Amino acid sequence: MAKQIGILTAGGDTPGLNAAIRGVGKAALDRYGMRVVGFRDGFRGLAENRTVRLDGASLSGILTIGGTILGTSRDKPHKMVVGGKTQDMTDAIVANYQANQLDALVCIGGGSTQKNALHLARAGLNVITLPKTIDNDVAVTDATFGFDTALGTATDAIDRLHSTAHSHHRIIVVEIMGHRAGWLALGAGIAGGADVILIPEIPYTVEVVAEAIRNRVRGGKPFSIVAVAEGGLSKQHAKSLQRALDLKQHAEDKEQKRLAKAEIAALELEHRDNALYLGRQLEELTGLEARVTILGHLQRGGAPSAADRLLATRLGSKCADLIEQEVYGVMVAAKCDDAIAVPLEAVAGRRKTVPIDHPWITAARDVGTSFGD
Ligand code: F6P
Q: How far is the CA of 230 from the centre of ligand 1 (A)?
A: 10
Residue to probe by mutation, ligand 1, list 13, 114, 135, 272, most atoms within 8 Å of CB: 135
Tell me the C-alpha distance between 151 and 184, whole Å.
6
> Among residues 93, 108, 221, which one has the least CA distance to residue 165?
221
The interaxial angle of helices 254-271 and 235-249, nearest 10 deg, is 160
80 contacts 86 by C-beta, under 8 angstroms: yes
Tell me the C-alpha distance between 369 and 39, whole Å.
45
In the DSSP assignment, the letter for residue 304 is P
Question: pTM of the entire structure?
Answer: 0.96
Tell me the C-alpha distance between 196 and 212, whole Å.
8
Tell me the C-alpha distance between 39 and 289, whole Å.
50
pLDDT for position 84: 95
Radius of gyration of the chain (CA): 22
Residue to probe by mutation, ligand 1, list 151, 176, 179, most atoms within 8 Å of CB: 179
pLDDT for position 110: 98
Q: Is the CB of 135 under 6 A from ligand 1?
A: yes
Per-residue pLDDT of the chain (373 residues; tens, 9 = 90+): 899 999 999 999 999 999 999 999 999 999 999 999 999 999 999 999 999 999 999 999 999 999 999 999 999 999 999 999 999 999 999 999 999 999 999 999 999 999 999 999 999 999 999 999 999 999 999 999 999 999 999 999 999 999 999 999 999 999 999 999 999 999 999 999 999 999 999 999 999 999 999 999 999 999 999 999 999 999 999 999 999 999 999 999 999 999 999 999 999 999 999 999 999 999 999 999 999 999 999 999 999 999 999 999 999 999 999 999 999 999 999 999 999 999 999 999 999 999 999 999 999 999 999 999 9
- Please count the other Cβ atoms lying within 10 Å of the Cβ belonging to residue 252: 7
Q: Is the CB of 12 under 6 A from ligand 1?
A: yes
pLDDT for position 41: 98
Pick the residue whose CA is nearest to atom 9 on ligand 1. Answer: 179
Tell me the C-alpha distance between 115 and 137, whole Å.
14
Q: How far is the CA of 49 from the centre of ligand 1 (A)?
A: 26
Atom index in ligand 1 nearest the CA of residue 184 equals 6
End-to-end CA distance of the chain: 60
Beta strands in the chain (DSSP E): 4-9, 35-39, 51-54, 80-82, 85-87, 104-109, 127-131, 171-176, 196-198, 224-229, 290-294, 330-335, 338-343
151 contacts 184 by C-beta, under 8 angstroms: yes
Q: Which residues are catalytic?
A: 135
Tell me the C-alpha distance between 122 and 102, whole Å.
16
- Please count the other Cβ atoms lying within 10 Å of the Cβ belonging to residue 178: 30
Tell me the C-alpha distance between 216 and 148, whole Å.
30
Q: How far is the CA of 120 from the centre of ligand 1 (A)?
A: 23
> Among residues 353, 326, 356, 322, which one has the least CA distance to residue 340?
322
Q: Is the CB of 111 under 6 A from ligand 1?
A: no
Q: How far is the CA of 14 from the centre of ligand 1 (A)?
A: 10
Atom index in ligand 1 nearest the CA of residue 135 equals 6
